[in-house]
Structure formats: structure tokens, C-alpha cells
Amino acid sequence: MDAPTTASADSGSSGGGEDNGWFTPHRQPEPSQDGARETREGNRLAGMRPVGRPAAGLSTTGGGSAVEEQRHARPAHLMLPPGYAPVDRPVPPAPEASPDAILVRRTLAEVGPVADKATSYFYALLFVRHPELRALFPAAMDTQRDRLFKALLTAAEHIDDTEVLVAYLRNLGRGHRKYGTRAEHYPAVGECLLGALSRFAGETWDATVEAAWVRTYTALSQIMIDAAAEDERRAPAWWHAEIVAHELRTSDIAVITVRPDQPYPFLAGQYTTLETPWWPRVWRHYSFASSPRSDGLLSFHVKAVPAGWVSNALVHRARRGDVVRLGPPAGSMTVDHTSDSGLLCLGGGTGIAPIKALVEDVAEHGDRRRVEVFYGARTGHDLYDIDTMLRMQQSHPWLEVRPVVDQQAHLQLPDAVREYGPWYEYDAYLSGPPGMIRSGVDALVDNGIPSERIRHDAVDEVVAAGQ
């Protein structure tokens, strides 16, 4: 996931509107009463619908912004791979889209084919108009460019689904603290974003569309600003963490243990973002490979992938004593301890890391729930953590670990899982490469697990983790 997803703002020259102009944060952060907050945000988003008069015209010469960290466009347990729809379940009718949502989506559809040009233009505009914001972004912007448009698409996709959208944006706002994003940056980003969109949206861009974008961006950015402000009262923007152990398990996989400089609360199954000293402002996702430990140490499984700056640095360059930075924990692939259903876990490659944490979590809760782990790898050599998993199996009679080696089994992990079961009494957890998650979800739904009981991280985050 990563790359600054900053939204900056400045009430552009043509920005009209009331108060200090569109995009300008207009309220103090709200109190942290979750229920009340969600309701207010719901109301605010509802207010993005055709209420009120259109905002005054925006500058159409601005640039774009960065809205990043797709993280959780929706809770992981509800998240299905893009384009996925179970064929044998009735699909509920889509709620009617609001007028603003229709216009916003129309712009994105128009800009989609030239998204790379639009995002390049956006950043150029942003850095020319607001050079002080350049320092929030990594030196190389390649990955960053994609993230902006993906984040916009994610927000647009869920624009009428208040619960999902608010959760996504709050997470995004919190995650932006580590980039140094501040409330006053959002208007600048908004102005440049509209400048880029207006330039590339062709003839579909007019005053009505612009007003819809202003309302939408203002509401969305306010949610991010509020979430960041609220988070600031209870957690640092980032943690420094010293590497205290670095174990090369294969020629390209390392197990790295770090000691954060302050307590780092998280749940088994979650992940964090990590920045190395060698690639400043380039952040990558890694799952916690253990449940929370009494000594406060955290561990990660890192595979060096071709052209993966961060992963190569972590595997081949990092040593004990090096200090990395961690963002806040995120992700909802966590165990529901109120349930006594069995857990069916699929871990592909280094995707076994959070699965191991989940097993530890079940053990620590003293549950006696069945836990079935399918651990897939291309070769026997790639099963770098099998000894740990088998040791856990020996200690826990409720745990079954089944290694699946592609080369030996002549099939991949999801197909192996189809051969067992039935699984309809299990909750499922998947972690691994995007292709494994997609076909794994298909296999499990075919096997009788309702999709709402299947949890995994967002596929695009998994892609980012592998960089």
C-alpha cells in the first residue's frame, strides 16, 4: 500500500464557496465517541447528495492529490477480489446512486484511460504550486502515481456505502499521519486534483460536475482530517523500531524481529507499513508474524522480490541495530473470539506469516476450536517456516497443518483445499499472493463457506506488500 496519500488544499484562485473557500477544513476535529462519530459522518456523507446549492466554481487549472492506502476499502471479511461475484448466491440489487456519485464516477470513467497522464499532471501541478509538499513523497513517484487513481476509484466505488467509505477514509486519514500530512494540505491537493480531472475529463466536465467534485472531496477529506486528529490524541504518527534479529531462512526470505521504541498495540492477523532508512518515504506492508508478545517484539517475514526496493533492502542489507519506521497497525483479518467455529487458514508463501499469528492467538485464548492450516509453497525449500508450524501442531491437538508443495502435489493451494472439507462450519482466512486469494475464495465458496465468513486482506495491498 504505500505512498503518501496526501491531500492538500489551498483555496484556489477561482475557488469561491463560502467560508475560506471549498476544501478548507471547516470544523475542529470531533470528539472520539465512535458511535456518535460514525453517525455524524454518515449524516455528512448523506449531505453530499444533492443538498444545497452547488459550490462556487473551482479552478480548473489545479493539479491532483494523493489519496492512497487502499488498505481497507471495506472490512477484510467482506472484501472480495475485484470482479468477484459468487455465482450461486443471489446478488442484492445495487443501491441507487446519488447524483454526485453518478457525476464523480462519470469523471473517473472518462479519465480512466488516461489516468497515468492525469496523475502525472496532478503531481506536477501540486509540486509547482506547493513545492513544500514534495518532501512528503518518495523520490521516485512511480508506485505513488497508481495509488492516487486507485484510491479515487475505491472512494468512488463506495461513495454511497457510508459505512464502508467512512471506515476506508478514516483508515486512510490515520495512515497519512506518518507521511507528515496535515489538515492544511488537503485544500491544496483538492484544488490540484480538480485541476487535473477537469483537464482530462473532456467535454463531460462542466460547472455541475465541478460542484459535485467539490462537495465530494470536501466531505471525504474532512473525514480523513478528523480521523487523523483523533488518532493524534492517542498514538504516535509512526514508531521507530530497532532490528534485534535478522534470520535468513532461504536465499531470498528473511525473518526479521524488531523492538519498537514505544508500546505497539495490534491484533494478530493485522499488518503494518514499514519504511527502511535506505528508501525514505517508501512504505510497504508487512503482516505481523506473531500475535502480540509480552516482550513487545514484532516479527515480519520478508521475501526479496525483483525490483522490490524495500524487500531487497530488508532481506539483503538490513542488520541488527538498524532502525526502521512503522506506521499504525491496520487490517481486520482477525479472529472473532465470540465464535466457536473452526478456522480454515490458507497461507501461500510468506502469506503464512499472519496465519501463524492467528494460530498463536487461538492458542492464547485457550480456545479448543479446530484450526486447519494449508501451507502452500512452490518447492519444499520454499516452505521456510514449516518447522515452526509443525512444532505448533505437536503442541496443540486442535491444530492440523498440511503443507502443499506445488511441484510434488502438481496442484496449487486452492485446489488442494477443495479435496478436503466440507468446510461449511469453518471461518476462512486467506493470506498469500493475489492469484491465490482470488482462486482460494472461489474454492471456498464452492466448498460451502459463505463469502461473509471468508477473510483476507485487500488484493491490491497484497500486491504492494510484495514490492
Ligand X SMILES: NC(=O)C1=CN([C@@H]2O[C@H](COP(=O)(O)OP(=O)(O)OC[C@H]3O[C@@H](n4cnc5c(N)ncnc54)[C@H](O)[C@@H]3O)[C@@H](O)[C@H]2O)C=CC1
Where do contacts with ligand X occur on this chain (CB under 6 A)? 286-287, 300-301, 303, 348-351, 353-354, 376-378, 382, 404, 406, 412-414, 431-433, 435-436, 439, 462, 465-466
In the complex with ligand X, which residue's Cβ is closer, 48 or 404?
Answer: 404
In angstroms, what is the minimal distance from the CB of 241 to ligand X?
A: 15
Residue 460: half-sphere exposure toward Cβ, Cα within 13 Å? 21
Residue closer to ligand X, measured from CB, 22 or 375: 375
Cα torsion 301, 304, 307, 312: sign: positive
Nearest approach, Cβ of residue 81 and ligand X (Å)? 11
Q: Which is nearer to ligand X, 220 or 437 (CB)?
A: 437
Write down the least CB distance from residue 288 to ligand X, Å. 8
Judged by beta carbon, residue 197 or residue 436, the one nearer ligand X is 436
Min CB(438)–ligand X separation in Å: 7
Phi and psi torsions of 326, nearest 5°: -120, 140
Q: Are 346 and 412 in contact (CB under 8 A)?
A: no
172 or 346: whose CB is closer to ligand X? Answer: 346
Nearer to ligand X, 17 or 414 (CB): 414
Closest to 459 measured CA to CA, from 154, 219, 3, 216: 154
Of 118 and 441, the one with the shorter C-beta distance to ligand X is 441
User: Residue 361's Cα: distance from chain center in Å?
Assistant: 22
Contact 65, 136 (CB under 8 A): no
Q: Which is nearer to ligand X, 42 or 421 (by Cβ)? A: 421
Q: Quote the least distance from Cβ 348 to ligand X, whole Å.
A: 3
- In the complex, the smallest distance separating the C-beta of residue 32 from ligand X, rounded to whole angstroms, is 30
* For ligand X, the closer CB: 42 or 466: 466
Alpha-carbon torsion (400, 403, 409, 415), positive or negative: positive
**Which residues are bridge partners to 405 per DSSP?**
377
Q: Where are the beta strands (DSSP E) in 249-384?
A: 253-260, 271-275, 283-287, 298-303, 323-326, 342-348, 371-377
Residues facing residue 330 across a β-bridge: 271
Name the minimum Å distance from CB 290 to ligand X. Answer: 11
Judged by beta carbon, residue 110 or residue 385, the one nearer ligand X is 385
Name the residue number minimizing CB distance to ligand X: 349
Number of H helices, E strands in the chain: 14, 11
Q: How far apart, in Å, do the first and last CA atoms of the chain sit?
A: 10
Q: Closest separation between CB of residue 311 and ligand X, Å?
A: 9
Cell numbers linked to 84:
468477484
Q: How far is the CB of 301 from ligand X (least distance, A)?
A: 5
What is the residue type of 52? G
Minimum Å gap between C-beta 152 and ligand X is 23
Query: What are 264's three cell numbers?
Result: 505497539
Alpha helices in 91-182 (DSSP H): 99-111, 115-129, 142-157, 162-176
Separation CA 467–CA 456 (nearest Å): 19
b/e code 372-406 from CB counts within 10 Å (16+ = b):
bbbbbbeeeebbbbbeebeebbeebebbebebbbb
